[in-house]
Chains A and B, each alone.
Chain A
Amino acid sequence: MIIQTIMFYVLAVGTVGAGVMVIASRNPVHSVLFLILAFFNSAGLFVMMGAEFLAMILIIVYVGAVAVLFLFVVMMLDINFAELRAGFLQYLPIGGVIGIILLAELVMVFASGAIEIEVPTNVASPTPPPDEVTNTQALGDVLYTRYAYLFQGAGFILLIAMVGAIVLTHRRRTDVRRQRIADQVARDPKAAVRLTDIEPGAEGTWKSD
């Protein structure tokens, strides 16, 4: 019990501290690394809440794919980030005010219990107690049955994002010679091949050049 509480505080402070450093750090590479730290701490919190599968998904998807993508992009763009920071204070008041207002609202809503969160009993519970089924199985049971359409929709979103990313970043280079298969297939053999009779011994009219 006490260990759980201590773990919660350690992970929560780690998450929030890393989140603050994402915003405050000077170097964007450090920001990305702090984001990875924040995700690791959140994964720890997920494990504490009994969502092991989601914790692993978070680490694999975010740390394994998204954060590496972030690092690639940050290193690909040759940006003078110091210049970008020059007017940092310009937006500090408005951003701070709006952020604090929203934070205060959220805290008040949660703390006052103004929203009574109730789950209808007829909604299938995706997470039965761990001694009955495992976490992954419980999620899979509802994900592929009750939420099959949403699952397909998520697949379509990923497909569209993939196509969009390729279309947006693709460059057609003009300085390379590439095979044009359509032209090759469309070529007419009658126009391409010419038969010429040549007298044996005579000098041919056809010359190669």
Chain B
Amino acid sequence: MVPLLYYQLLSAALFGIGLYGVLARRSAVLIVLSIELMLNAVNINLIAAASYLNGIGRVIAIFVITVAAAEVGLAFAIILRMYRNRGTVNVDEINLLKW
């Protein structure tokens, strides 16, 4: 089998890409997309660890998927609301709560 390290490196790379997307993109929709990428990286890591070391990672992965689905639903409700109220999804302009 492919060594566990390869899967861990893959998940690290995906997590880095997602983190970059969260930090660098300004559209709220793309930020949510990047968060999904990061969650996917976490899932890969969990399942790889569970497969090679026989832990409980797969059960945790199910919960990660569940919470991610709930999070996406709420995030898009908030984005739609934001767009209706402010007419933009640019996170630079949504600064009402910023000091």
Report yes or no: A139 in contact with B5, Cβ–Cβ below 8 A: no
Q: Mark B11-36, 1 if CB is under 8 A from A, else 0.
A: 01111111111011111011011101
**B49 CB, min distance to chain A CBs, angstroms:** 6
> A residues within 8 Å of B by Cβ?
4-5, 8, 12, 15-16, 19-20, 22-23, 28, 31-32, 35, 38-39, 42, 45-46, 48-51, 54, 57-58, 61-62, 65-66, 69-70, 73-74, 76-77, 79, 81, 84, 87-88, 91-92, 94-96, 98-100, 102-103, 106-107, 110-111, 117-119, 123-127, 139, 142-143, 147, 150, 154, 157-158, 160-162, 164-166, 168-169
- Selected contact of B58 from candidates A51, A81, A160, A165, CB within 8 Å: A51
Name the residue on B nearest A20 (C-beta). Answer: B17
Identify which of B58, B70, B80 contacts A126 (C-beta below 8 A): B58
A-B pairs with beta carbons under 8 A, tally:
220
Q: Report whether B77 and A16 are in contact in the complex, using a CB–CB cutoff of 8 Å.
A: no
Q: Would you call A70 and B29 a contact (CB within 8 A)?
A: yes
How many residues on B have C-beta within 8 angstroms of the other chain's C-beta atoms? 68
Residues on B with C-beta less than 8 A from A51 are 47, 50-51, 58, 61
New A-B pairs, 4, CB < 8 Å, besides A15-B10, A70-B32: A73-B80, A103-B12, A125-B54, A168-B77
B18 to chain A: closest CB distance in Å?
7
Chain B residues proximal to chain A, CB less than 8 Å: 1-2, 5-10, 12-21, 23-27, 29-30, 32-34, 36-37, 40, 43-44, 47-51, 53-56, 58-59, 61-63, 65-74, 76-81, 83, 88-90, 92
